[in-house]
Amino acid sequence: MATQPAGIPDLIPHYIDGERVASVDGDTFGVLNPVTNEDYTRAASGKQADIDLAVAAATRAFHEGPWPRMKNRERARILSRIADIVESRDQELAQFESWDSGLPITQAKGQAQRAAENFRFFADLIVAGRDDTYKVPGTQVNYVNRKPKGVAGLITPWNTPFMLESWKLGPALASGCTVVLKPAEFTPLSASLWAGIFEEAELPRGVFNLVNGFGETAGDALVKHPDVPLISFTGESSTGKLIFGNSAPHLKALSMELGGKSPAVVFADADLDAAIDSTLFGVFSLNGERCTAGSRILVERSVYDEFVERYAERAQRIVVGDPADPKTEVGALVHPEHFDKVMSYVQIGKGEGRLLAGGGRPEGFPEGNYVAPTVFADVAPDARIFQEEIFGPVVSITPFDSDEEALELANNTKYGLAAYIWTNNLKRAHLFSQNVEAGMVWLNSHNVRDLRSPFGGVKASGLGHEGGYRSLDFYSDQQAVHITLGDVHTTRFGASADH
């Protein structure tokens, strides 16, 4: 059993207007380690009053502070410093993240490095960015006056907490917004490091505020706050719907990255070795707690038996273990509530498919939220394990006989986040990619994404696309300024001589 990393506070506080503070009502909640399921610390439990204070601080910093008015280069310098600090602390960050979330340490370290890259990328983007100017020869010039929108409300999930926070913080801060972050209640530990990182990078006071707490209290108060004009949310589709409704009376700008049940489609002409490596990593990395997991594998019938046999054999050999051990490939799921949910799907799957690997706790792990990598074959498209997001190390495999059937199966869920296509037929690759209902497609590739490209889902997987300049657009108003050159020619109302 790993020992607790050094430096964990006894209470994870809020961070409001540059101060680490307890909740106004003094309330706290327990934070557990997913290997022992015992509380190792407590966190301040924010409510409306704490959100009000955080929003007030962010509003002051927006209207009176330097941040929104700084030159892009000055803001970029601070963002680059943040990137450097995050990068230099990747080991500490990974230890905190792995301890709190159960993610394998090596993968948590990769996520910390990605978080640094998110800040570096948006620092570069605002310095290199440009806005449009339109000339109407001799008569008008129109230009875009880009302005930060105000206080951004950021609500994040627990699956890769620090990285997903950076994903929103990077572009929100780069745009000149001030922010209130409400991290997931299962995993508040790594978020507590932002305050120190931002202080060291000399981010002005009040620009970044953080309120810990539950979705129904702290999250809800942020969504309904009249002085927060935009909400960037990542989480479950059902929560997204609720937030959409709660934002409607305020007509807030919304960016929603929601759930997924993404297909990985393997045609007989594919490089089967590469497809097996990728589809294993695609569903079992990050403990299967991955929005873009390829959790439905569709395989052309002529290679189906071979694929299934080889896949199951590899899945059985995946190293499940202590998240802190660098050899671990699958760690412990984040929380006993989530463990119970994933285990319930494993039971459902036993009645819906042919169990080829896993199917319960791995041997030698009687405690903790460990689930053995689980593979079900011959899963019918109306099965619950085919249709519903499990968000754990569980995959279903289904055969198909034609391109048409593969497309039909791929599109046959309410979700549309990612799709992975494995084929060496050029025409099929492009036709299939263009017709599959997914916000993002990877062709003969696992999930690697250049930060300039759009990220987002269709159908129940999301609203709007972030990524690159699209993220900056979300956090900015693009005001059109129209200037007349020369004489103004206006139709003259009320100037008629006939009156």
Which residues form the interface with ligand NAD (CB under 6 A)? 155-159, 164, 182, 184-185, 214-216, 219-220, 223, 234-236, 239, 242-243, 257-260, 291, 389, 391, 417, 457, 462
12 vs 164, which CB is nearer to ligand NAD?
164
Q: Read off the tokens for 355.
A: 């169990």
Provide the Cα torsion 353, 358, 360, 365; round to 10°: 180
Beta strands 374-377 and 354-357, pairing class = antiparallel
76 vs 228, which CB is nearer to ligand NAD?
228
Spatial distance between the Cα atoms of 446 and 454, rounded to a whole number of angstroms: 16
- CA pseudo-torsion sign 72, 78, 83, 86: negative
Q: Smallest gap, in angstroms, from Cβ of residue 156 to ligand NAD?
A: 6
Q: Read off the tokens for 453.
A: 């490209």
Of the candidates 97, 165, 185, 257, the residue annotated as catalytic is 257
Report helix, strand or coil for 466: strand
Amino acid at 178: T
| CB-count burial class (<10 Å; 0-12, 13-18, 19+) for 433 | middle
Give residues with Cβ within 8 angstroms of 279, minimum separation 6: 264, 266, 294, 297, 311, 395, 420, 422
Q: Smallest gap, in angstroms, from Cβ of residue 344 to ligand NAD?
A: 15
201 vs 332, which CB is nearer to ligand NAD?
332
Spatial distance between the Cα atoms of 319 and 119, rounded to a whole number of angstroms: 33
Biggest CA–CA distance in the chain, Å, is 98
Q: Smallest gap, in angstroms, from Cβ of residue 154 to ligand NAD?
A: 9
Distance of CA 297 to the CA centre of its chain: 22
Q: Smallest gap, in angstroms, from Cβ of residue 52 to ligand NAD?
A: 15
317 vs 414, which CB is nearer to ligand NAD?
414
183 vs 399, which CB is nearer to ligand NAD?
183
Residue number with the smallest Cβ distance to ligand NAD:
215
Residue 257 annotated in active site: yes
Q: Smallest gap, in angstroms, from Cβ of residue 171 to ligand NAD?
A: 14
Spatial distance between the Cα atoms of 114 and 484, rounded to a whole number of angstroms: 46
List, in sequence order, every residue forming a beta bridge with 400; answer none if it has no partner. 300
Residue 427 CA: distances (Å) to CA of 265, 268, 288, 443: 15, 15, 32, 12
Q: Smallest gap, in angstroms, from Cβ of residue 416 to ligand NAD?
A: 11
Spatial distance between the Cα atoms of 183 and 166, rounded to a whole number of angstroms: 11
Spatial distance between the Cα atoms of 252 and 248, rounded to a whole number of angstroms: 7
CB of 97 within 8 A of CB of 162? Answer: yes
68 vs 219, which CB is nearer to ligand NAD?
219
186 vs 304, which CB is nearer to ligand NAD?
186
Q: Smallest gap, in angstroms, from Cβ of residue 218 to ligand NAD?
A: 7
Positions marked catalytic: 257
